Amino acid sequence: MKRSAILIDREFLKHMPGRGHPERPERLRVLLDLAETLDPARFQLMPGRVASRSEIELCHDPKYVQLVESTAGLSQYVLDGDTITSPDSFAVALLATGGFLKLLDSVAAGESSNAFAMIRPPGHHALRNRAMGFCLFNTIAVGAQYLKTAHGATRIAIVDWDVHHGNGTQEAFYNDPSVLFVSAHQYPFYPGTGGVAEVGVKEGAGFTINVPLPAGCGDAEYLRVFRDVVIPAIERFGPQWILVSAGFDPHRQDPLAGMNVTEAGFSQMARAMLQLAEVYCGGKVAFLLEGGYDLTALRSSVAGVLERLQQSGGDKFPSDVGGEKIDPLIRAVLRTHDQFY
């Protein structure tokens, strides 16, 4: 099996949104420590690369990119109540986004079996012309558009298991049938979007699937969502690529949310993505770090996903997962989308 490509770069430490901010440099430090323990025969560590302006503008308005660029060198600039830049934040965001594109190139060329981008700041809340929720540029959305323009992809699935709804990613592809966006998230919760009825518009109708979970859900409920919603949706769509917004803030120890997922749950969700990628995408799958704010839980959860990246084959996704308490929600999601099949 080829090595997995891992994006990590000490330069990502230089984004400093301020003392006490949850999206702090320590999140990357624990992953730098983890990266040092990885077997180089199985994992190839890659530094970032600077994204070009045209690459960022695949998903962002040029005036917004100029606004973020104008914060370079300023001691602090508040783009949004939760999103604050420091002197190096613009450069870090370019390096993180470009690095993710480099990972996609590596997987596309067959040089890597799959990939995981350990980046900060996260991206899935960033809108076309607005920063939100700790996010400057929507890295995974840029990545999907890049796959279309640089690699000719016509069917890309994005799965978002961050505890917060990926509103920026949803917006980017809401009328686009070439991208299937599936999100399981705590609801009602920040940013307030991601209801069952949000399904896409025009040609994109049916290609956005939201599973708004109540607080308190754990491994059983998430695996039920994957068994009954995520996996069947991807099987119907038949993607050429799978991209995962891998937020680890649904973890039971995370201070910013109210879910109860464990390392084992994240590992099982990753296994499902890898197995689907083997069947439909020739293995082409890339994970990208979004949230996750308890440092111990973040490191151990990422470690579990990384271990999955280098496991080929294995048992099928379990059929008996529990989680019956969300059956009414699952039925509502499936009923909403029945009209599109």
**119 contacts: CB under 8 Å, gap ≥ 6:** 7, 12, 48, 96, 99, 100, 139, 288, 289
Unique residue bearing structure tokens 């890049």: 146
Active site residue 125: yes
H helices, E strands: number in the chain:
11, 10
- The pair phi, psi for residue 111, each rounded to 5°, is -80, -25
Enter the tokens of residue 274. 């890898």
**Residue 52 to residue 50: CA distance in whole angstroms:** 6
Among 125, 165, 185, 337, the active-site one is: 125
Nearest to 168 by CA among 199, 200, 193, 202: 193
Q: Is 47 helix (H, G, I), strand (E, B) or coil?
A: coil
Q: CA 293 to CA 164: how far, in whole Å?
A: 13
Report how far residue 199's alpha carbon sits from residue 141's, in angstroms, rounded to the nearest whole number. Answer: 17
The residues annotated as belonging to the active site are 125
